[in-house]
Amino acid sequence: MTPKTPRQMTLVAFLQAQNCSNYVGSWRHPSSMNDYLSPEYYQRIARTLEDGKFDMAFFDDRLAMPDIYGASHRETVAHGVRAIKLEPTSVLMAMAMVTSRLGLGATYSTTYYEPFHVARLFATLDLMTKGRVAWNVVTSMNDSEAANFGHSEHLEHDLRYDRADEFMEVVMGHWDTWAEGAIVADKEADHFADPDMVRRLDHAGRFFQSRGPLTVPRSAQGHPVVLQAGQSGRGLAFAARWAEVVFAKYPTLDNGKKQYKALKDGVESAGRDPGSVKICPELKIIVADTQAQAEEQRDLVASLSRPIDGLTMIGETLNIDFSGRPYEQPFTDEELAAVSWQSLRDKVVQVSGKRNPSVKDFVEASGRGTLNDGPVFCGTGKQVADQMEEWFNTACDGFVLSATSVPGTYEDIVRLVVPELQKRGLFRKEYGDATLRGTLGLTVPRAGDWRAAR
């Protein structure tokens, strides 16, 4: 009898195509590299991740420079609070050029782009990487992004997700317009492809009209992997319907166990196989050869944050200018109802214990801009692996790993943590299938499969 293969952990690197990681203070770290405007910077990270057999790296993105705090971009630029944001799919391809197995994902918004464009772009990326691409689906979050695309304000929360649901139907429909095996390429018979296997979409809905057919055939993995990070009730319903990898936020292990079960139950209720969806919470790892060295590094990293980081990022996230508001003045019920990122609002209410929290409560309870914005595993490779194994066995399918210095964080993880996970049989020693789906252990969908599953 063949022994059962142990369940394997999914490892995803959480990247930013900008001057810092999602931890703003990372650009101030003495070991962080400064060539973030060059392909070599991202290619260096890509090689490290592929050496460590990571499943995937993906780029978060926002469509505006943070400029809500004080209605100005001056503080953002002065303090480097995510002031630079390169177009992520272009950076993705620079990384693809120096790798052959690492999965690569990029964020694209369903609020400010058109479905045909996104379907064509990501289908092309998937072909050019031989089936290694993922699309991180977001609905965007603030008025600054709206202003860059000619709108006076950002769409209301649930309306964004209504639009996103239809956006996904159109994109998935376009990815289906070419059936597998449509291309014949018979030169002598002058028969390039079977017209009966290429169809128009002819979508007409509430938000979109799109004809098709798409001009890009299917890739080796069927279509790009769909990544999503919904945390609110509406966002979780969207993730349950569409996501193949869910980027989660767990403040604690106990909270994670509840979220994990709720997400898996939601996937099943949406008519999908819960085993076909990987749920991966964000995690920061600070690892060194000794516990004392790791704790020293943690103290250094924590010292890099500045008050302006949190104030700017919370304003960007919640679409609220905190600059002219008394620091301890509670928000009214009406103001809280207007907050765009509902899951963060609810977290602050829960952590602070106040129905009407203040700016001070938002800063302290959210941890935005500080090392405390999410769990941190700190210690030796063995100590970190112990914590990851506990979470993996009870609350997740893997992890989205953030960096506190770049590329040092990932180099430390690959050198000290990955070998420990491999030793325990929790993580691969070599890549298997060449596609991202193969690496993640997901099946290759055929045209139309998504409709049957929903």
The rounded distance, in Å, linking the Cα atoms of 27 and 76 is 13
Q: What is the mean pLDDT of residues 230-245?
A: 86
pLDDT at residue 336 tops 50 = yes
pLDDT at position 310: 86
- The pLDDT confidence band at residue 343, using thresholds 50, 70 and 90, is confident
pLDDT at position 453: 62
pLDDT at position 342: 72
User: pLDDT per residue over 126-183, tens digit each?
Assistant: 999 999 999 999 998 788 998 999 987 888 888 889 999 999 999 999 999 999 999 9
Tokens for 273?
Answer: 């196989």
pLDDT at residue 454 tops 60 = no
The conformational region for residue 10 under phi > 0 = left, psi -120 to 50 = alpha, else beta, is beta
What does 168-187 look like in DSSP terms, one character per residue? Answer: HHHHHHHHTSB-TT-EEEET
User: pLDDT per residue over 23-49, tens digit each?
Assistant: 999 999 999 999 999 999 999 999 999
pLDDT at residue 267 tops 70 = yes
Question: C-alpha 68: how far from its chain's center?
Answer: 23
Amino acid letter, residue 451: R
DSSP SS3 for 138: strand
Name beta bridge partners: 105: 58, 134
pLDDT at position 2: 47
157 is an annotated ligand-binding site residue: yes
For residue 100, count other CB atoms closer than 10 A to its CB.
11
pLDDT at position 282: 96
117 is an annotated ligand-binding site residue: no
Of 370 and 227, the structure prediction assigns the larger pLDDT to 227
Residue of 262, 238, 239 lying closest to 250 (CA atoms): 262
pLDDT at position 60: 94
pLDDT at residue 263 tops 60 = yes
DSSP SS3 for 376: strand
pLDDT at position 215: 97
93-102, 255-264, 321-330, 352-361, range with greatest mean pLDDT? 93-102
What does 7-67 look like in DSSP terms, one character per residue? Answer: PPPEEEEEEESSSS-SSGGGGGSTTS-S-TTSHHHHHHHHHHHHHTT-SEEEEE--SS---
Q: Where are the beta strands (DSSP E) in 208-360?
A: 209-210, 225-228, 245-248, 278-287
In the chain, the domains with their CATH numbers are: 10-303+375-451 (3.20.20.30), 306-368 (no CATH)
pLDDT at position 1: 45
Which range, of 147-151, 193-197, 289-293, 318-322, averages the lowest pLDDT? 318-322
User: pLDDT per residue over 431-450, tens digit each?
Assistant: 998 999 999 999 999 888 88
The rounded distance, in Å, linking the Cα atoms of 119 and 96 is 19
Question: What angle, rounded to 10 degrees, do the helices at 359-366 and 342-352 form?
Answer: 90
pLDDT at residue 339 tops 80 = no
pLDDT at residue 307 tops 70 = yes
φ, ψ dihedrals at 284, nearest 5°: -105, 135
Q: What is the mean pLDDT of residues 207-218?
A: 96
Residue of 400, 406, 399 lying closest to 301 (CA atoms): 406
The rounded distance, in Å, linking the Cα atoms of 238 and 231 is 10
Of 349 and 429, the structure prediction assigns the larger pLDDT to 429
Amino acid letter, residue 207: F
What does 294-330 look like in DSSP terms, one character per residue? Answer: HHHHHHHHHTT--HHHHHHHHHHHHT---TTS-TTPP
User: pLDDT per residue over 83-101, tens digit each?
Assistant: 999 999 999 999 999 999 9
User: pLDDT per residue over 43-68, tens digit each?
Assistant: 999 999 999 999 999 999 999 999 99
The rounded distance, in Å, linking the Cα atoms of 124 and 77 is 34
140 is an annotated ligand-binding site residue: no
pLDDT at residue 3 tops 70 = no
Which residues are CB-neighbours of 373 under 8 A, at least 6 positions away?
23, 366, 367
110 is an annotated ligand-binding site residue: no
124 is an annotated ligand-binding site residue: no
Indicate the DSSP class of residue 2.
P
Cα separation values, 20 from 15, 83, 412, Å: 9, 9, 18
The rounded distance, in Å, linking the Cα atoms of 140 and 321 is 17
